[in-house]
Chains A and B, each alone.
Chain A
Amino acid sequence: MTVSTRRWLAGVLPSLTIALLALWWPPMAMLLAAKAGLVHDTGFPRLFDPSTLGSLLELMLLTAGALLMQTHPRDGWVVLAWSRAAAFLRLTWGVFVLSRLNGIAATLHERVIWDSAAMLVVSGGLLAYVRSEFLASRASEDQLNRD
């Protein structure tokens, strides 16, 4: 892919992150409300189960990253990279729990695991691909400060 493609992807990354957050926060708020007993609960009534906490951590890091990208692009990129680490932890926990319940073979047939893994690879790859654009933005910021 060309430099202009990378530049374009770096330009739309904040918008993509915000769109993702708009799609993800309402279901998460609903889940938290259900687990906190604020609305009718349909499942596991614990607010602090590791799976929910993992999702919440990932979502908060994504939110912080999207906000930082508006003012400090490089710092925003770093926080978004940490959100991928949180996503990896969440996926690992999911595999661990499901394999304990159903066995490894059945877990590897779960579509949700493969969806999460694919999204993690795609988003991580995208972040790695546009990294140089955000490092360049920091370099130009530093140059401006020196001037």
Chain B
Amino acid sequence: MAGLSRSFDFMARRPWLLAALVAIAYGVRLNDTRELVDAAVDPYRMALPPEREFLYGSPLPLFLVSYFIHQGLPGMAAYIWVQVMGAALFLVGLHRVVGRGVSRETRNLTLTVLLTSPLLVTLLWWIGKSDLYLLGFFLLLTCTQSQASPVGLASLMIVSHGELATIVLLMHGLLTPGRWRAIAVGLIVGHAMLAGYTGMLSPQPTSRADFAWQHAAELIGIFAATPLLHLVTPATLTVIYAAMRTLTWRAVTVLAVALGFAIVAQDFTRVFTIISTPLLIDAARTIAVSRPSAVTWLWPLAFIQVHLAGTNLLWAHGQDIRIAP
């Protein structure tokens, strides 16, 4: 028993080894590879089918891939390098948020708790979705002391993913009321840049919001068909927050908003996880500080959830809905 406890403890204190093992065992999934490369050849000309036009709502990764393609890199190499840059940005942000002012041991335990949440699968299985840029800029925004940087970071979030970034920023404003001015300016600048870009395209691309509005009935129908499957992740997180006594009215509002938007999104769990990331990080930090011994036995959850997700037992997601021509 002591040997088992020691081996569990060994893994709990090495979050990156845990993440690497999960990635090796279950792999990573690339999304929108061909579409992003096709659109990046000329980002000012509509080149995607209607059901993929939402990619024009994420101009930052699109223009980065375009830049590298025009600098002579093959399309796939450009796509992969842009994802590597996103991963590096996310890791820097995570390091600053989780690692500042705490011991190395607490930081590692916090990361291990985070890896047992759906955030790990969201990052490993939705590569190419600009989530790494969105969350990377958001994490840097949450820990910057400067008055000017949040404006730039919020704008970069908007041009990474217009819709999700807007919701995440509004939720951050709700959880951290003192930063409204910078967030508001960032929202305005970011949306002006986004509108400036999409305004140049002809015809106007279908946005994610248009898509959700047009297919709201079908998307709600998917949720209504398997409500328990969809609610596993939100319910689990709510129980954890309640147990950690971090369930304030602001946290409840964020969870409710995340649930509401996730229901009308194609990727239910991904959208829910991204919107509730600020709460997720807080909960991970609280668990690592208040109950470090519990983390020792928690890490197998990282494997279990990915395994169940792989068999579609515990991973709610929408299905491709083609827009009728």
Contacts and interface: CB of A to CB of B under 8 A. Distances in A.
B67 A23 contact: yes
Interface residues of A, number: 12
Given A8-B148, A8-B149, A30-B73, A22 B88 contact: yes
Interface string B36-50: 000000000000000
B71 A22 contact: no
B85 A27 contact: no
A31 B72 CA distance: 8
A120 to B, nearest CB: 19
A31 B68 CA distance: 12
Contacts, number: 26
A26 B148 CA distance: 30
B interface SS class? helix
Contacts of A27: 68, 71-73
A26 B146 contact: no
A40 to B, nearest CB: 10
The dominant DSSP class at the A interface is: helix
B146 A8 contact: yes
Contacts of A11: 146
A42 B255 CA distance: 54
Contacts of B72: 27, 30-31, 34, 42
B81 A26 contact: yes
Contacts of B68: 26-27
A143 to B, nearest CB: 23
A22 B284 CA distance: 31
A68 to B, nearest CB: 18
Interface string B52-78: 000000000000100110011100011
Interface in A12-45: 12, 22-23, 26-27, 30-31, 34, 42
B149 A12 contact: yes
Q: Which of A5, A12, A26, A30 has the most CB of B within 10 A?
A: A26
26 contacts: A5-B148, A8-B146, A8-B148, A8-B149, A11-B146, A12-B149, A22-B85, A22-B88, A23-B64, A23-B67, A26-B68, A26-B71, A26-B73, A26-B77, A26-B78, A26-B81, A27-B68, A27-B71, A27-B72, A27-B73, A30-B71, A30-B72, A30-B73, A31-B72, A34-B72, A42-B72
The 10 A-B residue pairs with the shortest CB-CB distance, nearest first, are: A27-B71, A30-B72, A22-B85, A26-B81, A8-B148, A30-B73, A8-B146, A26-B73, A27-B72, A26-B68
